[in-house]
C-alpha cells in the first residue's frame, strides 16, 4: 500500500513542477487571434469616426459622446491585448498562444 502512495506523490510532484504551455496552433488560440484582429480593426475605425466627430462638431454634447466613445475604444483595446498576459500570469504558464 505504501508503494501506491509513493507513486501518487511522485506523480503529483511532477505535475507541480510541470510547465504549462498552450501552443499557438490550438483552435482557441486561432479563434482569439481572429477576435483580436477584428476587434483592433473595428476599434481603430470607431476611434477614427469619433475623432472626426470630435474635430468637426460644435455641439458640446456630441463632443462629450465622442470623447466617451474614444475612451471606451481605448479601454476595449487594452483589454483585448492584455488578456493573454493576464491569463499567462493567472495559470503560471510559460506561453499562452505564443505570448
Share of the chain above pLDDT 90, in %: 49
Q: Domain spans of the chain?
A: 22-96
Q: Which residue has the cell 474635430?
A: 55
Question: Which of 30-54 are b and which e, b meaning 16 or more Cβ less than 10 Å from the residue's Cβ?
Answer: eebeeebeebeeebeeebeebeebb
pLDDT of residue 44: 95
Tens-place pLDDT, residues 8-45:
555 555 555 555 566 767 788 888 889 999 999 999 99
pTM: 0.70
Confidence at 56, pLDDT banded by 50, 70, 90:
very high
pLDDT of residue 83: 87
Contact 89, 63 (CB under 8 A): no
Is the per-residue pLDDT at 66 higher than 70?
yes
Amino acid at each position: 500500500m505504501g508503494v501506491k502512495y509513493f507513486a501518487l506523490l511522485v506523480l503529483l510532484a511532477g505535475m507541480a513542477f510541470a510547465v504549462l504551455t498552450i501552443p499557438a496552433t490550438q483552435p482557441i488560440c486561432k479563434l482569439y487571434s481572429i477576435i483580436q484582429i477584428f476587434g483592433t480593426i473595428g476599434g481603430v475605425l470607431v476611434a477614427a469616426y469619433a475623432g472626426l466627430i470630435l474635430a468637426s462638431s460644435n455641439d458640446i454634447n456630441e463632443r462629450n459622446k465622442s470623447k466617451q466613445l474614444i475612451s471606451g475604444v481605448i479601454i476595449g483595446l487594452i483589454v483585448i491585448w492584455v488578456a493573454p498576459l493576464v491569463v499567462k500570469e493567472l495559470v503560471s504558464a510559460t506561453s499562452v498562444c505564443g505570448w
